[in-house]
Chains A and B, each alone.
Chain A
Amino acid sequence: MSADYLIKKRSNTLKVLLGLGFLSLAAAFITEYDPVTGLISGLDALRWVATNFYPNEQSLTRLPSIINRLRETVLMSIAATTVAAFSATFFALLGAQTTKVNDALRLMSRSVASFLRNIPAVAWAMILLFTFGQSSLTGFLALFFSTFGFLTRVFMETFDETTASSIEALTATGASYMQIIFQAVLPASLPQMISWMLYMVETNIRDATLLGILTGTGIGFSFALFYKSMNYHAASLVVIVIVVTILVIEYISNHIRRVIL
């Protein structure tokens, strides 16, 4: 009996693996993808990167303007995240089970958040481009909407997880809704909320870089500009600057997290 079970389980695994293998082969056949050529061209690309894609002396003269653009991107990400966090706090209070005012507002807040969250920032940028054209505002709003949706969701969960018991206690003392929010819910949730905000700042700097290519602003625009004008040395400098920035931001936010949690 048990031997049968194990044999059956193993044959199931085998079937799944064969199925996956077949799918990859079929996909490769349809798209006329040749793994060998793929591998070789990958190596070619690496060789090209090594010979062309590095900053040279001349590209370093572009550094001040790149840093300037980078500052624009970083500041926009931080602005979008903080504004979104502020609004998300309100919506999350209305949407969380423990802090809801009534069910109608809860449903409304949850649907708005989930609608905004499920459209990625890049899609927002494309939609907003029609209205606001290529400007920083498009990038800001695109980041704001997706961040707002995400933060509302995680703030709701934070409120529900961390505060149900102290809300009950403060209700029993005769405290009013506002008092409970400011004296129990927010103090208990703040470290986690800040931690999520820092995570969104990191994510948004990455996204802002991509968005910049679309909206013609920030560091993404610098990259697109240099790349299209075949100034690969300067373009590589942009990439290096972005990577360094993200590492630095991550280091800072990890440090902040350690202090507050």
Chain B
Amino acid sequence: MSLLTVKGVSKHYNERIVALSDVSFAIEPGEFVVIIGSSGAGKSTLLRCINRIVEVTSGVVTFDGLDVGSLDKRELRKMRTKVGMIFQHYNLVNRLCVLENVLHGRLGYKSTWAGALGIYSEEEKAQALRVLRLVGLEEQVYQRCDQLSGGQKQRVGIARALLQDPKLLLCDEPISSLDPNASKVIMDYLKKINTELGITCLVNLHQVHVALAYAERIIGVKRGRVVYDGLTEHLTAETIHDIYGSEAGDLLLGSGGNHVG
């Protein structure tokens, strides 16, 4: 059974701005899929429709056998704990230390007040330290996040997502704010998480060469529509040209602009 299916999903911000129209695909457990497309093509909106940070206008998202759209508040929180998310701008609480930010990954599992007051069990703290070691941040555990470099911040973001013990990792332009070195480090970590921990990854990228280097399968999105869905080696130069068509300039001003970091 597929881990994630997206069926006929459309998102209209209003009559004129259509971010997604009739998007369908399925992701199998353990896959490493990259979504490519120019800025404003609807990639970010698409990822956010999966964990319902953005509500779809029509269509069905099914995750792990659950119809995401029909979940109530409580069930939605529970479902979100199984979907980690990584952001272009890391979205950390900069004034808190690395450990505190990583522990945020446990909030969905905790009672409201234990979470609000930041009361974590020894087991959770030990797990956080383990995850931090995994992403090579054992030296920075008590450092404040605003003192970290971009690459380190993104690794904190990854650690936070991993602490959720997720089945699926949604990565929204994880390397768009990073230099080439840090980008490679981050992509290598994501690949490692996929192969070693068996966590399914769905990654938004607009750098085609990175997508070609890391992805097993590529989904091409153009103007809110899926225009390619298949293995990386079958992706032709012609299709790439089509995905990043000459109309890209117009698209930047159009759909999904408020989610393009």
Contact = CB atoms under 8 A, between A and B. Distances in A.
A35 to B, nearest CB: 55
Contact of A176 (B83, B94, B100, B112): B112
B116 A178 contact: yes
A174 B83 CA distance: 9
Given A168-B53, A169-B160, A175 B107 contact: yes
Interface in B118-165: 118, 157, 160-161, 164
A170 B107 contact: yes
Nearest to B83: A172
B104 A170 contact: yes
A183 interface: yes
A144 B57 CA distance: 45
A169 B174 CA distance: 13
A171 to B, nearest CB: 6
Contacts of A129: none
A111 interface: no
A169 B86 CA distance: 8
Interface in A160-190: 165-166, 168-176, 178-179, 181-184, 187-188, 190
A191 interface: yes
B112 A174 contact: no
B164 A173 contact: yes
B87 A165 contact: yes
Most buried by A among B80, B91, B105: B91
B5 interface: no
Nearest to B78: A174
B184 interface: no
B253 to A, nearest CB: 22
Contact of A183 (B94, B116, B157): B116
B93 A184 contact: yes
A169 B78 contact: no
A171 B80 CA distance: 8
B132 to A, nearest CB: 16
A174 B91 contact: no
B104 A188 contact: no
Interface string A19-38: 00000000000000000000
B80 A174 contact: yes
Nearest to B81: A174
- Grouping DSSP codes into helix (H, G, I), strand (E, B) and loop, the A interface class, with mixed when no group exceeds half, is helix
Interface string B109-120: 110110111100
Contacts of A165: 87, 89, 91
A148 B226 CA distance: 51
B96 interface: yes
Contact of A173 (B94, B105, B117): B105
A85 to B, nearest CB: 19
A174 to B, nearest CB: 2
A166 B93 contact: yes
Nearest to A171: B53
Contacts of A182: 115-118
Interface in B156-181: 157, 160-161, 164, 170
B215 interface: no
Contacts of A170: 104, 107
Contacts of A168: 53, 87, 91
Contacts of A175: 77, 104, 107-108, 115
Contacts of A181: 116
Contacts of B96: 187
30 contacts: A165-B87, A165-B91, A166-B91, A169-B104, A169-B157, A172-B51, A172-B83, A172-B85, A173-B81, A173-B105, A173-B160, A173-B161, A173-B164, A174-B79, A174-B80, A174-B109, A175-B107, A178-B112, A178-B115, A179-B110, A179-B112, A182-B117, A183-B93, A183-B100, A183-B107, A184-B104, A187-B93, A187-B95, A187-B96, A188-B94
Given A165-B89, A169-B92, 6 more contacts: A166-B91, A172-B85, A173-B104, A174-B77, A174-B164, A188-B94
Closest 3 CB pairs of A and B: A174-B108, A169-B91, A174-B80
